[in-house]
Structure 1
């Protein structure tokens, strides 16, 4: 629908309220309900949204480490929020309430550097200037537990019951056992504009994997963000708590949020990654893109692994990579190349966990690939055949502090995303590390309480 059609739907429909939301630096939806009349007045002129959403962490604690864009030193005024009418959809589990995503503008009417969705749109514009159409999709793994948010909090997030017992990947039995939940996921997500390619159980108690249908990159990121929130909202209605933590326990594999990516021409008719004359099916453009991603990976790792917990997943033998590696259909590598035919040739970025901000992760994927094309980088890294964990070169940073400090100092990161974003984002990751460092963990208590 065009602008006039959307406005007419809102004006003439049964709706008295509209839900709007933005995504903060952690990838969390922050939003509110607006009266229909207020929303319609904001379509052309925007509306004020408190800047605190970029001044606090996921627990609403104010950053105290010199965040420049907002804080007590700015008085926490409003940012200018702009509705993106292209994101219009209705929420089927809320009586088809209209829903829209918004972007932030600065006081100079420019895209706000810290706004994740605006950052992605900036990188997309670079791709379009190069006559590329990025086509992306994301897949998620997550755990499901039989709890409500109240009971989960009461138990201190311990001793929670998985939706299903045991290790049973691709289980028809387990899907059937919980068919009402899984049917709702599939059909309600479709009605919400987040269509799935597939949905199945993964190995691990209560673990599920879903692949979202591919699309243009901005729509793919929108779908990924809305997927995570929608799964939680639908789960609540079934007495189920979905969790997208990257690593739930040391005894089980972590949860991936792998991103599939390809570049097409402006008409979306030609996959520019595929070369039918090449033995490996890879075009020179794809090799430049891949080389750029490999080179930039350790410089921008926090955009793929943004939490303390992210790095507990990136360990040997846990179905997640640990180094700068690539290989054809190799799931032990950071970048898995699939190049068997024109339609499906793509790169799967396997460093990405389910805890990421999809806008930042996709912006990082695309920007680093374009870096390789712009600089005509050669794919000098040899293909990994067999066990990628055996490759001892190009090991990635092993914790959030190390990764954040590398990104903070990185000339490449600043070239890709600008000084303002890198400064803000890395300070938020430093904050996350500082919050963790002051806590006493269960591991410490078990290890030191009696023995030491």
Structure 2
């Protein structure tokens, strides 16, 4: 990642003829927000911040908040390559501060920074890579998304079967021009489904990039006349879309999840095992953050290679954690259960906190589940290892987990639960087409 100063940003804005700057941030549900300023206001914004009314930002406050400020992080300065070069548009990601000059309790980026400080104080440097899946759908004459997938291709298919190749290429080229390091991209299993993977980097930088990633992918798709959706399960008969988070911990230039051993065939360190133990211990609670939609739980079902089990394995794709075969500095723990609708800052905050608690309390994980463990019966596995099966169940776990609450902070924790419980109530009060098809003719 590039470390830019205030002076660097002012110089680049002048060099590239930037006229508008979008000061970007997220609400607690992960929606990208922005306030636009002209370049003439850039120096003042970098020095003193920009006041805004958080009452209009869902998740920050129910009442009007005075003296809340967006303070741009200079290291996040990027020019949007799809905008005109004359009078260019750039972005800066912001932290939110209160009038006392402290990070605002409702700021998701601040929550992640608090957890990262705790990790750093123990001498660890966390890194993450991500694999992000999404669908491309056709739009109607008014530009609204339809349920018609852009193609009927399958896993790693090529043109002309993969009709999304040109759109995906433009996404990758745009992301790279903005400083993203792309590991790979390909067509996924389902029709119209795609994956783009980002290379490993520091966690805060990755969270910033993930927020921008979704914005860029949807923008480029729109320019191709398509709609990009990160909805976990948009079609009942197609595979769902996930967000795989690769976790590793480092001390200086050494990956401390790896340990050469003559007795442990997996070559994992005790710290790696404890980290896995912490993730499994707190899986129920952080699932509410990692899988924040009612629709998220249509994806987390056994039998379709979906990560439905709070367990770990090298090969079993039904477990939420997989440990790939690479070792030494490539050793990593892949958390497969989150989906692309989560708030990147909060999902990193809660999963890092869970892993850290595993290390602090030396939580040993259960034995790994192998492929043949699935033959023991789906219902039994769900009872003994299952992740929450609904958003209601996940919210109940979140409400009783003090460790995950501490990672979020009281304000984000309470507002998230309140808003999501209201969402569940609206869902339960709605009569769905399935109920009509199933019951109306008989009762």
TM-score calculated relative to the size of structure 1: 0.90
Task: Write out per-residue CA displacement over residues 358-389 of structure 1, whole angstroms, 9 at most, x where no aligned residue.
Answer: 1111112211101111112223x111111565
**Stretch deviating more after TM superposition (6-15 or 86-95):** 6-15
Matching of residues 370-389 of structure 1 within 5 Å: 370-379=356-365, 381-387=366-372, 389=374
Give the number of aligned pairs.
429
Could you tell me which residue of structure 2 aligns to residue 62 of structure 1? none
2:106 to 101, 114, 134: 114
* 1:272 counterpart = 2:256: yes
State how far apart, in whole Å, the 1-side matches of 2:243 and 2:333 are.
Answer: 14
Could you tell me which residue of structure 2 aligns to residue 446 of structure 1? 437
Matching of residues 85-124 of structure 1 within 5 Å: 85-95=74-84, 96-124=88-116
| Displacement of 1:352 | 0.8
**Stretch deviating more after TM superposition (215-224 or 176-185):** 176-185
Distance 1:178 1:421, change over 3 A: closer
State how far apart, in whole Å, the 1-side matches of 2:103 and 2:372 are.
Answer: 43
Following TM superposition, the consecutive aligned residue runs of length 4 or more in structure 1 with deviations greater than 6 angstroms are none
Please say if residues 388 and 394 of structure 2, whose CA atoms lie closer than 8 Å, have aligned partners that are also in contact.
yes
Please say if residues 148 and 241 of structure 1, whose CA atoms lie closer than 8 Å, have aligned partners that are also in contact.
no
Could you tell me which residue of structure 2 aligns to residue 25 of structure 1? 28
| Displacement of 1:320 | 1.6
2:398 to 382, 396, 407: 407
| Displacement of 1:2 | 2.9
State how far apart, in whole Å, the 2-side matches of 1:421 and 1:443 are.
Answer: 34
2:131 to 133, 139, 143: 139
* Aligned-partner SS, 1:151: coil
| Displacement of 1:12 | 4.9
Task: Write out per-residue CA displacement over residues 338-373 of structure 1, whole angstroms, 9 at most, x where no aligned residue.
Answer: 253212110000111122111111112211101111
Q: CA RMSD in A?
A: 2.0
Please say if residues 325 and 388 of structure 1, whose CA atoms lie closer than 8 Å, have aligned partners that are also in contact.
no
* Aligned-partner SS, 1:93: coil
Could you tell me which residue of structure 2 aligns to residue 63 of structure 1? none
* 1:183 counterpart = 2:169: yes
State how far apart, in whole Å, the 2-side matches of 1:387 and 1:22 are.
Answer: 45
| Displacement of 1:449 | 4.2
* Aligned-partner SS, 1:141: strand
Please say if residues 24 and 32 of structure 2, whose CA atoms lie closer than 8 Å, have aligned partners that are also in contact.
yes
Could you tell me which residue of structure 2 aligns to residue 2 of structure 1? 5
State how far apart, in whole Å, the 1-side matches of 2:294 and 2:372 are.
Answer: 26
State how far apart, in whole Å, the 1-side matches of 2:387 and 2:440 are.
Answer: 33
Task: Write out per-residue CA displacement over residues 78-121 of structure 1, whole angstroms, 9 at most, x where no aligned residue.
Answer: 52111111111111011352211111123433222221111111
State how far apart, in whole Å, the 1-side matches of 2:395 and 2:138 are.
Answer: 35
State how far apart, in whole Å, the 1-side matches of 2:125 and 2:208 are.
Answer: 16
Task: Write out per-residue CA displacement over residues 381-404 of structure 1, whole angstroms, 9 at most, x where no aligned residue.
Answer: 111111565434132221111211
Q: Which runs of 5+ in 1 are unaligned?
A: 57-68
Task: Write out per-residue CA displacement over residues 145-179 of structure 1, whole angstroms, 9 at most, x where no aligned residue.
Answer: 12169332xxxx55x321102x5111023576444
| Displacement of 1:263 | 0.3
Distance 1:182 1:321, change over 3 A: closer
Distance 1:34 1:415, change over 3 A: closer
State how far apart, in whole Å, the 1-side matches of 2:437 and 2:373 are.
Answer: 34
* Aligned-partner SS, 2:148: coil
| Displacement of 1:307 | 0.7
1:48 to 51, 72, 80: 51
* 1:82 counterpart = 2:64: no
Could you tell me which residue of structure 2 aligns to residue 429 of structure 1? 420
**Stretch deviating more after TM superposition (351-360 or 285-294):** 351-360
State how far apart, in whole Å, the 1-side matches of 2:158 and 2:61 are.
Answer: 50
Please say if residues 350 and 404 of structure 2, whose CA atoms lie closer than 8 Å, have aligned partners that are also in contact.
no
State how far apart, in whole Å, the 2-side matches of 1:78 and 1:174 are.
Answer: 55
**Stretch deviating more after TM superposition (355-364 or 210-219):** 355-364
State how far apart, in whole Å, the 1-side matches of 2:125 and 2:425 are.
Answer: 39
Could you tell me which residue of structure 2 aligns to residue 61 of structure 1? none
State how far apart, in whole Å, the 2-side matches of 1:38 and 1:136 are.
Answer: 35
State how far apart, in whole Å, the 2-side matches of 1:274 and 1:244 are.
Answer: 33
2:331 to 341, 345, 350: 345
Distance 1:77 1:442, change over 3 A: farther
* Aligned-partner SS, 2:127: strand
Matching of residues 239-254 of structure 1 within 5 Å: 239-254=225-240
Please say if residues 325 and 383 of structure 1, whose CA atoms lie closer than 8 Å, have aligned partners that are also in contact.
yes
* 1:394 counterpart = 2:385: yes
| Displacement of 1:252 | 1.5
